[in-house]
Amino acid sequence: MNQATLVVHPSTKAQVEISLQGAWQLGSNLPSSESIRQQLARQQFRTIKLLPSDDFQWDSRLLAFLLSLQEFCQQHQSKLDINALPKEVQ
């Protein structure tokens, strides 16, 4: 099982892209919500776009992460774009 990681790509003024990599599943160590929030707080954006990598795997732990990220977006008057994620998540 590959370690769950994410990469925050430099933003334009409109969008930050986050690549989700590895296993976002029970039994995996996920990146902490606080570290993600700190990375994003240094960015200026209106949209966070999530992009799965080729080795991306998920279960309900991803949904908990998405809820936390959605809350962050609401606090910062921004949008969370999950259109590239599997249909079951959308």
Cβ-based burial of 25 (10 A; exposed 0-12, middle 13-18, buried ≥19): middle
pLDDT tens-digit series, residues 4-58: 898 998 777 789 999 999 999 998 899 988 888 888 888 888 999 999 999 999 9
Copy the structure tokens of residue 16: 């930050």
> What one-letter code names the amino acid at 18?
I
* pTM beyond 0.85, yes or no: yes
DSSP type of residue 26: T
